[in-house]
């Protein structure tokens, strides 16, 4: 591999990001002062000289008003032109997806591909807003009102009066509902697609009390055994979410296309080229593979609740569609200030995946088998979900039998560069059973975990690329290897020329 000196310099300069930001902030402040000064000079120049001071002020205001009107007129014309040329933009974007120089695809297939891509971009550009020219979508508007009602414990009559006021303020052709009943109808579902649970963190068990989710807004729910506050979590129906996603014809076509047999190329373009996916392939049925993920830290910072979600992304969707939040599957959400009891939370969140493991769902006449592909987590979450020791504990590595050793100098566990045998899925499973029977920790495994019912561990719990490489650790290693003290054993900065020469 050829090492570029410029890349190394950029990696080293990452340590001076704070200083760079301060300099940029000063430059921005100086630029703003110059713009403000120039604007004042232009206004002074536009003043017309009149005998009366009041006339001079009015003339200045008139010039400024005329400029403002011209600006909004030009902006409106520009926006209108963008709307009229929207179809041209979509067609230009679609061109990138049509195969060039392929004699095997007939005209009808090309037109079908073009139409699917046009539908995809129409979903992005064409949305339903609360009134023409607004930036607020109707769905977001309804959810905002619903959240406002819950936050302040408002009754339906108050919301109805608030909607009447909004209808007076908004333009005439707005889509604001007259009553709250329409919002309720929009948010409600004909079938119950979620389940609510309350867990006692102290007792580490589910509460058998009959409590509804709405009670969270009116009172604190207490465990009858230990008198501590109960932590709620909600699990969602996976089949109904996937069916809703595949109602979009463009997304359905993507799943069907990516289920077709792939060429035996060694190149890696996406997850369906990877080893895990190839080992799971079954030619008998089309598959919908879910990559599960969760985090060891909450995604919100509310005074009342924090959220720990378990999400799933569909491997068979194209990358652009896969990462769209609307196309993600929500398995469960833990709502509490306290950290989840992961074995209870995960067990109930994946219960449906276990039940439908060998079943098919039918979408528009096509059968699909839903399966779990893998689970990706940061190290704290991995320790909790897989029920293994933390990364800084003995046998903290999930993938090999390296025990590590405690360093008195650094006061932390280190892993010297020694070779140890890798863990196998069958060995991992046997050690889980032994740990359950003996009640002891065996090679870092502390006991059973519910995720092993749908995944083979540790092979289907791959390394977290984002935290290992993208969030600073890769740059930190480059700094240590090439820019640290030359006396360090790991310093290899003097060998850059040799690396570059050997790469030819």
3-state SS string for 306-369: CEEEEEEEECCCCHHHHCCHHHCEEEEEEECCCCCCHHHHHHHHCHHHHHCCCCEEEECCEEEE
- If one counts the domains in the chain, the total is 3
Q: For residue 129, give the 3-state DSSP assignment.
A: strand
pLDDT of 230 reads 86
Residue 40 lies in a domain: no
Under 8 Å between Cβ of 217 and 153 = yes
Residue 220 and residue 368 in one domain = yes
CA distance 502 to 504: 6
Residue 144 and residue 220 in one domain = no
Element (H, E) at 292: strand 286-293
The long-range contacts involving 166-171, CB below 8 angstroms and separated by at least 24 positions, are 170/130, 170/131, 171/131, 171/132, 171/133
CA distance 449 to 432: 8
CA distance 404 to 391: 10
Residue 113 and residue 145 in one domain = no
**HSE-CB for 101 with a 13 A CA cutoff:** 0
Residue 180 CB partners (closer than 8 Å, separation 6+): 145, 149, 156, 159, 160, 163
CA distance 67 to 271: 54
Under 8 Å between Cβ of 266 and 274 = no
Alpha helices in 350-424 (DSSP H): 351-355, 379-386
Element (H, E) at 241: helix 238-245
Residue 147 lies in a domain: yes
Identify each DSSP E strand in 162-277 by its residue range: 194-200, 205-206, 231-236
Residue 307 lies in a domain: yes
Residue 154 and residue 94 in one domain = no
pLDDT of 330 reads 93
CA distances from 27 to 40, 77, 84 (A): 20, 34, 39
DSSP summary character for residue 270: S
Residue 59 lies in a domain: no
Residue 327 and residue 235 in one domain = yes
Domain boundary pick from 346, 377, 408:
377
Under 8 Å between Cβ of 93 and 121 = yes
Residue 169 CB partners (closer than 8 Å, separation 6+): none
Residue 435 lies in a domain: no
Residue 169 and residue 225 in one domain = no
Question: What is the length of the chain?
Answer: 504
Beta-ladder partners of 236: 194
CB atoms within 10 A of CB 231: 25
Residue 248 and residue 177 in one domain = no
Q: What are phi and psi of 346, to 5 degrees?
A: -70, -40
Q: What are phi and psi of 502, to 5 degrees?
A: -70, -20
Domain boundary pick from 350, 377, 404:
377
pLDDT of 204 reads 86
CA distance 447 to 491: 41
Element (H, E) at 27: helix 17-46
Residue 281 and residue 346 in one domain = yes
pLDDT tens over the chain, length 504 residues: 444 555 445 544 544 444 445 555 566 566 555 655 554 444 444 333 333 434 443 444 444 445 444 443 444 344 434 434 444 443 444 344 333 333 333 344 445 444 544 444 444 444 678 888 888 888 888 888 888 887 787 888 999 999 999 999 998 888 899 888 888 777 665 456 888 888 998 888 887 766 665 555 556 778 888 888 888 888 999 999 999 999 999 999 999 998 887 665 566 777 777 888 877 776 677 889 999 998 866 666 666 667 889 999 999 999 889 988 889 999 999 988 788 999 999 999 999 999 988 788 888 889 999 999 999 998 888 999 999 999 889 999 999 999 999 888 888 888 888 889 999 999 999 999 999 999 999 999 999 999 999 999 999 999 888 888 887 678 888 888 888 888 888 888 877 777 666 554
Residue 206 and residue 344 in one domain = yes
Cβ density class 189-206: b for 16+ within 10 Å, e for less: eeeeeebebbbbbeeeeb
Domain boundary pick from 377, 411, 439:
377
Residue 172 and residue 303 in one domain = no
CA distance 106 to 86: 28
DSSP summary character for residue 467: I
Residue 365 lies in a domain: yes
Residue 427 lies in a domain: no
Residue 333 and residue 275 in one domain = yes
For 146, the domain range is 138-187
CA distance 253 to 240: 18
Residue 220 and residue 102 in one domain = no
Q: For residue 99, give the 3-state DSSP assignment.
A: coil
Residue 447 lies in a domain: no
CA distance 237 to 9: 50
> What phi-psi label fits residue 439: left (phi over 0), alpha (psi between -120 and 50 degrees) or beta?
left
Q: What strands, in cross-sheet order, belong to the sheet with 307-314?
A: 205-206, 194-200, 231-236, 329-335, 307-314, 286-293, 366-376, 360-363
The model's pTM is 0.63
- 39 by Cβ neighbours in 10 Å (0-12 / 13-18 / 19+) ranks as exposed
């Amino acid at each position: 591999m050829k090492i570029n000196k410029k890349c190394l310099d950029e990696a080293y300069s990452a340590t001076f990001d704070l200083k760079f930001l301060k300099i940029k902030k000063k430059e921005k402040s100086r630029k703003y002062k110059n713009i403000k000064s120039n604007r004042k000079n232009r206004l002074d120049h536009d003043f017309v000289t009149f005998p009366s001071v009041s006339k001079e002020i009015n003339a200045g205001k008139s010039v400024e008003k005329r400029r403002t009107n011209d600006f909004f007129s030009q902006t409106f014309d520009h926006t209108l032109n963008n709307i009229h040329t929207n179809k041209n933009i979509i067609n230009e974007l679609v061109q990138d997806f049509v195969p060039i120089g392929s004699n095997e695809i007939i005209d009808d297939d090309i037109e079908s591909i073009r139409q699917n891509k046009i539908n995809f971009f129409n979903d992005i550009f064409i949305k339903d807003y609360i009134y023409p020219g607004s930036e607020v979508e109707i769905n977001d508007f309804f959810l905002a009102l619903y959240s406002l009602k819950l936050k302040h414990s408002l009754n339906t009559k108050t919301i109805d009066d608030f909607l009447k006021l909004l209808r007076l303020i908004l333009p005439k052709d707005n889509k604001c509902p007259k009553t709250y009943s329409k919002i309720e109808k929009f948010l409600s579902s004909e079938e119950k697609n979620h389940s609510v649970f309350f867990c006692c963190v102290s007792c580490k068990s589910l509460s058998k009390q009959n409590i509804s989710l709405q009670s969270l807004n009116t009172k604190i729910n207490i465990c009858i055994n230990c008198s501590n506050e109960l932590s709620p979590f909600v699990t969602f129906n996976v089949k109904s979410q996937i069916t809703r996603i595949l109602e979009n014809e463009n997304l359905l076509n993507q799943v069907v296309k990516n289920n077709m047999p792939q060429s035996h190329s060694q190149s890696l373009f996406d997850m369906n080229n990877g080893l895990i996916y190839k080992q799971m392939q079954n030619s008998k049925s089309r598959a919908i593979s879910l990559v599960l993920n969760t985090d060891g830290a909450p995604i919100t910072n509310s005074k009342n609740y924090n959220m720990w979600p378990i999400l799933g992304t569909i491997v068979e969707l194209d990358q652009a569609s896969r990462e769209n939040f609307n196309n993600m599957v929500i398995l469960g959400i833990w709502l509490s200030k306290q950290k989840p009891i992961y074995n209870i939370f995960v067990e109930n969140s994946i219960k449906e995946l276990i039940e439908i493991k060998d079943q098919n769902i039918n979408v528009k006449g096509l059968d699909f088998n839903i399966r779990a592909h893998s689970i990706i987590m940061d190290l704290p979450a991995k320790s909790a979900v897989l029920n293994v020791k933390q990364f800084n504990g003995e046998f903290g590595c999930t993938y090999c039998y390296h025990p590590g050793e405690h360093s008195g100098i650094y006061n932390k566990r280190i892993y010297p560069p020694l070779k140890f045998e890798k863990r196998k899925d069958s060995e991992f499973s046997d050690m889980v059973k032994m740990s359950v029977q003996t009640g002891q920790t065996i090679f870092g495994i502390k006991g059973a975990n519910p995720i092993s019912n749908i995944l083979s561990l540790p092979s289907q719990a791959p390394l977290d690329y984002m935290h290992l490489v993208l969030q600073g650790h890769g740059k930190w290693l480059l700094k240590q290897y090439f820019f640290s003290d030359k006396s360090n054993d790991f310093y290899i900065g003097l060998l850059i020329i040799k690396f570059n020469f050997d790469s030819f």
